[in-house]
Amino acid sequence: MLNNLPYLLAEGEVAWLVLAGVCIVAGLFLLAFLIAAAAYGKLWFQAFMSGADVSIWSLIGMSFRQVKATVIVTAKIMCAQAGLNIDRRTGISTSRLEAHYLAGGDVMKVVHAIIAAHRANIDLDFDRAAAIDLAGRDVVDAVRTSVYPKVIDCPDPQRSGKTTLSAIAKNGIELRVRARVTVRTNLEQLIGGATEETVIARVGEGIITSIGSADSHKEVLENPDRISKAVLARGLDSQTAFEIVSIDIADIDVGENIGARLQADQAEADMRKRRAEAERHRAEAVAMEQENRAKVAENRARLVLAEAEVPLAIADAFRAGNFHEQRPTLPA
Report helix, strand or coil for 11. helix
Which is nearest to 153 in space by CA: 184, 182, 175, 176? 182
Averaged pLDDT, 207-213: 84
CA distance 115 to 137: 17
- Of the pLDDT bands very low, low, confident and very high (cuts 50, 70, 90), residue 108 is very high
- Tell whether pTM > 0.85: no
Q: Specify the domain boundaries for CATH 3.30.479.30 within the chain.
A: 149-260
* pLDDT digits 0-9 by tens, 119-137: 888 888 888 889 888 888 8
Note the pLDDT of residue 118: 87
According to the model, what pLDDT value does residue 35 have? 58
Query: What is the predicted pLDDT for the residue at 111?
Result: 92
Distances in whole angstroms, Cα of residue 150 to Cα of each of 135, 191, 247, 253, 318: 22, 19, 12, 25, 121
Q: Which of 17-31, 74-88, 290-304 has the lowest mean pLDDT?
A: 17-31
Percent over 70 (pLDDT), the chain: 86
Q: What is the mean pLDDT of the chain?
A: 80
Is residue 329 helix, strand or coil? coil
Residue 148: band (very low, low, confident or very high) from pLDDT cuts 50, 70, 90: confident
DSSP state letter for 62:
H
Within a 13 Å sphere around the CA of 274, how many CA atoms are in the beta-carbon half? 5
Mean pLDDT of 281-304: 86
Fold of 149-260: Tetrahydropterin Synthase; Chain A (3.30.479)
DSSP string computed for 190-216: TTT-B-HHHHHHHHHHHHHHHHHT-S-
- Answer whether the bond into residue 155 is a cis peptide, omega within 30°: yes
Whether the upstream peptide bond of residue 6 has omega within 30° of 0, thus cis, is no
What gap in Å lies between CA 126 and CA 96, rounded to an integer? 9
